[in-house]
Amino acid sequence: EVQLLEAGGGLVQPGGSLRLSCGASGFTFGTHAMSWVRQAPGKGLEWVSFISGSSSTTLYADSVKGRFTISRDNSKNTVYLQMNSLRAEDTAIYHCAATDYYFGKWGQGTLVAVSS
């Protein structure tokens, strides 16, 4: 069974940093692209970032470009999202998702709250 488990969320002040992680099991992690998708409270889904299986390609939404960095460690079956210069509008549940062009499997998400 495919499982994705996010961790690392929490309350952070504006301008602060957080590092999210997503551990994967139940599939061949290194051959799958992965993405982060977020959902602000009571709102819809917003794609944030993408990384290919080999890490050769990384992509970002304009809203986070230059502030967020996606990476992965295939030996640990884990994908990361380093978030710097956080803003109130980054407050959301952050889901990781296995990416086969569409998002085949999702984790439950981890809540990031940016507030002073």
User: What is the contact surface with another protein in residues (CB under 8 A)?
Assistant: 35, 37, 44-47, 50, 59-62, 95, 101-109
Q: Which of 62, 111, 64 is nearest to 85 (CA)?
A: 64
Tell the smallest beta-carbon distance from residue 51 to another protein (Å): 12
Contact 17, 84 (CB under 8 A): yes
Tell the smallest beta-carbon distance from residue 102 to another protein (Å): 4
Q: Give the residue with the Cβ less far from another protein, 27 or 103.
A: 103
Tell the smallest beta-carbon distance from residue 13 to another protein (Å): 26
Q: Which of 37, 14, 4 is nearest to 89 (CA)?
A: 14
Partners of residue 36 on adjacent β-strands:
49, 96
Q: Give the residue with the Cβ less far from another protein, 27 or 106.
A: 106
Q: Give the residue with the Cβ less far from another protein, 92 or 109.
A: 109
